[in-house]
Structure 1
Amino acid sequence: MIEAQKQVPVAHLGGGLAPVGAEIAVLTHFVDGAGWKGTGTEAQPVFNPATGQPIAQALSGTPADVAQAVAAAKEAFPGWRQRTPKDRADVLLRAAAVLESHAEELAHLESVNTGKPIPLARDDVAGTIDTLQFMAGAIRTQLSLSAGEYVTGRTSMIVREPVGVVAAITPWNYPLLTAAWKIGPILAAGNTCVMKPSEQTPLTSLRMAELLAEVLPAGVLNVVTGTGSVVGEALATHPDVALVSVTGSVRSGQAVASAAATMLKRVHLELGGKAPVMVFADADLDAVVEGIRLAGFGNSGQDCGAACRVLVEQSVHDELLKRLVPVVESLAVGDPAAGDHIEMGPLVSKAHRDSVLGFLDRAVAEGARVATGGRAPEGDGYFVLPTVLVDLPDGAEATREEIFGPVVTVETFTAEDGAVEAANGTAYGLSASVWTEDARRAADLPGRLDFGTVWVNDHLAFATEMPWGGFKSSGYGRDLSVYALDDYSRTKHVMFNRARSDGETEQA
């Protein structure tokens, strides 16, 4: 029961590095511009995954809590939508400035809750700020079909409108950054928002809401913590929620889409991935190794676009491994609190660590060989050593399913067509990369790969101006770029009949 414990805003956690006094703080929801304890009586612990110790508790939201938050967002919607694009842009720019003034606090809070290294957490905060700044500019420059006479005597124009109250369900691997990827275009387009962060990593979402209350009208941004099965489902089925946006697993996306389908509610899904890294014999192998080091093991591999499935031309397989394995073994793994030199932290939870270890056990049972890593180290926290798996049989689980951990598989190919077939032979279609010095191949292959993003001689590089999203089981809809604004708005055709009632001839 939560009544016996102290309910506090996130700011009182001291940057998330210690609980309040001798108690574990219970963090409140954020509704209608202020912290709110909600209607429920339960809370669940929030852990530092590097130590396995609880740092706070988050309220377990109820359908009644969701209803309260949606009502606040619905009430705030008319006033927010009526603001001009410039007015909303000015608010978003002030919001970005507020977050920038608290950047280091947010980075440490993100690190302690997710286990990601401090430099990566700082990058996430910078990306959060940049997203809000970009959306502030983009909403003032939206384009559409020109107004004109498409039917004789009538003038047509396109009006783009906000959809209303939008539910945003965010994941635990990039809680702050993906929150910005959602609320940036959602609010810029004139919608209001109710956000449900992952119950495992709610700290930065709640803190951001507290900070942005300085500049956002009450009710424009609300946060309700809790599980997907309760809070997520309540949002997906609430009649006053016009659109549900989810970043998460395929299973999460399916659950939300299924619930929303009963009301023909729009959904926006950015789901899982299994990114192939296609390495040809003429590739710069040192660049490949560096790309895998950053994109395969950054954030402990907990990235839907991670460089996790290497397809390397047979003739350079041994040489690539010769260079890759020592680099992977040199990664500094540990508690991010130890300093900025830490390159890889823990996995987000004990359950997820055990899931990754289960994948490794099954891979070895199928015949895979562990070139390095393959186990959890001794000590506290939810760590798995950075792992490279080789000699995998065709169709092995580890090459097909999203492990979402610091595990990179290495397979070989001998022909380009076979490599393309293998890369496309997955249920996912989020991202891929091609590594080659052949200009014609580099220009041709992206068009043959069934992925929403294809990098050439790079992996996991983002630009706020460019869209992010996938095909097939990776979902639909786009984050970032002006295309996200399209996803969170609706088009209306307005036609004017210019015929004169007095029968006058229309002027040329």
Structure 2
Amino acid sequence: MLQHDRLFIGGDWVTPAGTATIDVISPHTEETVGRVPDGTPADMDRAVAAARQAFDEGPWPRMTMAERADVVGRLAGLYAARQAEMAELITMEMGSPITFSQLAQAPQPLGMLQYFAELGRTFAVEDERPGLFGPVTVRREPVGVVAAVVPWNVPQFVIMTKLAPALVAGCTVVVKPAPETPLDSYLLAEMIKEAGVPDGVVNIVAAGREAGEHLVSHPGVDKVAFTGSTAAGRRIAAICGEQLKRCSLELGGKSAAIILDDCDLGAAMGFLSIASLMNNGQACVAQTRILASRSRYDEVVQAVADMVSGQVVGDPADPATGIGPMVAKRQQDRVEGYIRVGIDEGAKPVVGGLDRPRDRGWYVAPTVFAGVSNDMRIAREEIFGPVLSVIPYDDEADAVRIANDSDYGLSGTVWTGDTERGMDVARRVRTGTYGVNIMNTMEPSAPFGGFKASGIGRELGPEGMSAYLEYKSIARLG
């Protein structure tokens, strides 16, 4: 069992203010696999103070962006050497299949570090524009101390969407990992220290809701970057609004995969097995509404059912596994609750249902519902598990209407034999990311975020860097 008894604050491993601990439970074995301190509001005060001092008095914001980019590049080199270790750690603590951890949980954070290190070497900190009375210099300066509050499903990925651009921009950061997945952040802290990031620039305190809200509300924090549920996002937005504090919110999704009549179903299902079921269905971008024309509806239902039935459900550490357990017992109960809701609403489970595939571990049966209308709860609410709904549409315009008939707007896909037709559909669906015959896997160089209740702001790309910068205009005569 991995045990840590310190917190990473001010560039050092410090004794926590309290004595409470967080037990990390394997969702596969239901056994304790790790233990870390449970951060308190006093620990958050100490972390913010360290970040505040590092920003107000330390060298980090005063270095050139290229110099900071070089430090982040060193961190990327250390991260590359420990990718396999990171992937195994995340699989152990939250049940992500090891193949997905090796494909995404560890490599994508590395890709973000590499991208922002490179961007920082060429990003324009100042530019000059003509003004009414003389030239105007537009300057970009770091926003200040950032609170990065991250979820458990893709912990390193979400940390890096915030940490990598914030560091290159010149901010200092307090990271609050979710209590379900604190172990990977300790490995990251080791690499941050080894990379030579100055003391106090990055502080990491795993904690629950009370300490998290204390961090978000802290007057020493200039910006909150949050990824998680829409309900929590609303609360954070309210706090930041009261304090006129900057915030960016990446929230939930209920994305639609539109299967057009000219689609090659065999090819599409190969991609949708990842797009719809990645990370055991615990992904905000998962394509959980499958939209099929009435003329091919039964064919699509069968293809989706065959795709889901072909997934191996089991030990996430086994490379043969396609779907592992839910992260926690409460998540297992939540997903099974939605399966009951779907049955009660009149939808038909053609695969899966309420029979658990394993006696031990927080597993649910991957489930495909047919006979779903878009007004059902299983089609409107984010389930966050391996539950798919196949919804019929009349024509292409109706498919776009159904895709847009959602409180969310995070992701989506269209599957067609005509790429230009797919691009036309993509332009009409109101989501922040989209894919034509492929899943948009959140490219580091392109902005990621959502419309409507899926969030506010964008991460990744130059737009993601701008989220950690304040713009200053300096006019002068002569």
Q: TM-score range by the shorter chain?
A: over 0.9
Q: Distance in 2 between matches of 1:437 and 1:100?
A: 38
* 8 Å CA contact 2:373, 2:392 repeated in 1: no
Aligned to 1:303: 283
Question: What CA deviation, in whole Å up to 9, does each residue of 1:95-148 have, x standing for no partner?
Answer: 011111112111111110110111211222111111101101112222488513
Q: Distance in 2 between matches of 1:259 and 1:213?
A: 32
- The match for 2:331 among 352, 359, 366 is 352
Deviation at 1:251, TM superposition (A): 1.1
Aligned to 1:51: 29
Residue 332 (str. 1) matches residue 312 (str. 2): yes
Residue 37 (str. 1) matches residue 15 (str. 2): yes
Q: Distance in 2 between matches of 1:382 and 1:106?
A: 22
Deviation at 1:488, TM superposition (A): 0.8
Aligned to 1:129: 110
Residue 478 (str. 1) matches residue 473 (str. 2): no
- The match for 2:50 among 72, 75, 82 is 72
Specify the SS of the correspondent of 1:241. Answer: coil
* Residue type at the aligned position of 2:307: V
Q: Distance in 2 between matches of 1:310 and 1:144?
A: 44
Q: Distance in 2 between matches of 1:460 and 1:48?
A: 30
Aligned to 1:409: 389
Question: What CA deviation, in whole Å up to 9, does each residue of 1:229-254 have, x standing for no partner?
Answer: x1221111111100000010101111
Q: Distance in 2 between matches of 1:195 and 1:84?
A: 23
Aligned to 1:240: 220
- The match for 1:268 among 248, 263, 267 is 248
Aligned to 2:467: 487
Residue 457 (str. 1) matches residue 398 (str. 2): no
Question: What CA deviation, in whole Å up to 9, does each residue of 1:350-395 have, x standing for no partner?
Answer: 0011000000001101101101012322321111121111112451
Mapping 1:84-483, distance limit 5 Å = 84-123=64-103, 124-143=105-124, 146-152=127-133, 154-215=134-195, 216-228=197-209, 230-337=210-317, 339-375=318-354, 376-483=356-463
Specify the SS of the correspondent of 1:45. Answer: strand
Q: Distance in 2 between matches of 1:139 and 1:366?
A: 52
Q: Distance in 1 between matches of 2:40 and 2:126?
A: 44
Shifted more, 244-253 versus 370-379: the winner is 370-379
* Residue type at the aligned position of 1:136: A
* 8 Å CA contact 1:58, 1:226 repeated in 2: no
Deviation at 1:311, TM superposition (A): 0.7
Specify the SS of the correspondent of 1:490. Answer: strand
Q: Distance in 2 between matches of 1:145 and 1:42?
A: 47
Q: Distance in 1 between matches of 2:403 and 2:293?
A: 13
Q: Distance in 2 between matches of 1:395 and 1:178?
A: 31
* Residue type at the aligned position of 2:427: G
* 8 Å CA contact 1:58, 1:199 repeated in 2: no
Deviation at 1:346, TM superposition (A): 0.7
* 8 Å CA contact 1:27, 1:56 repeated in 2: no
Q: Distance in 1 between matches of 2:245 and 2:374?
A: 40
* Residue type at the aligned position of 1:261: G
Share of identical aligned residues, percent? Answer: 37
* Residue type at the aligned position of 1:134: Y
* Residue type at the aligned position of 2:63: R
* 8 Å CA contact 1:277, 1:311 repeated in 2: yes
* Residue type at the aligned position of 1:187: L
> Which has the higher Rg, Structure 1 or Structure 2?
1
* Residue type at the aligned position of 1:150: G
CA 1:334–1:104 in structure 2 vs 1: closer, same or farther (change >3 Å)? same
TM-score (structure 2 length as normaliser)? 0.96
Deviation at 1:463, TM superposition (A): 1.7
Q: Distance in 1 between matches of 2:426 and 2:124?
A: 27
* Residue type at the aligned position of 2:411: S
Q: Distance in 1 between matches of 2:449 and 2:234?
A: 16
Deviation at 1:92, TM superposition (A): 0.5
* 8 Å CA contact 2:41, 2:214 repeated in 1: yes
Q: What stretches of structure 2 of length at least 5 have no aligned partner?
A: none
Q: Distance in 1 between matches of 2:84 and 2:125?
A: 40
Question: What CA deviation, in whole Å up to 9, does each residue of 1:195-223 have, x standing for no partner?
Answer: 00111111111220122111211111101
* 8 Å CA contact 2:109, 2:160 repeated in 1: yes
Question: What CA deviation, in whole Å up to 9, does each residue of 1:134-169 have, x standing for no partner?
Answer: 1011122224885133113x2101100001110000
* Residue type at the aligned position of 2:272: I
Q: Distance in 1 between matches of 2:420 and 2:125?
A: 35
* 8 Å CA contact 1:232, 1:256 repeated in 2: no
Shifted more, 127-136 versus 255-264: the winner is 255-264
* Residue type at the aligned position of 2:254: K
**Alignment RMSD:** 1.4
Specify the SS of the correspondent of 2:194. Answer: coil
Question: What CA deviation, in whole Å up to 9, does each residue of 1:13-47 have, x standing for no partner?
Answer: xxxxx34xxxxx35432111122231112123111
Specify the SS of the correspondent of 2:434. Answer: strand
* 8 Å CA contact 1:235, 1:244 repeated in 2: no
* 8 Å CA contact 1:198, 1:227 repeated in 2: yes
* 8 Å CA contact 1:370, 1:387 repeated in 2: yes
* Residue type at the aligned position of 1:54: T
* Residue type at the aligned position of 1:288: A
Deviation at 1:468, TM superposition (A): 0.9
Q: Distance in 2 between matches of 1:406 and 1:394?
A: 18
Question: What CA deviation, in whole Å up to 9, does each residue of 1:303-361 have, x standing for no partner?
Answer: 00001101111111111222221221121111122x21212111100001100000000
Shifted more, 471-480 versus 54-63: the winner is 54-63
TM-score (structure 1 length as normaliser)? 0.90
* 8 Å CA contact 1:236, 1:244 repeated in 2: yes
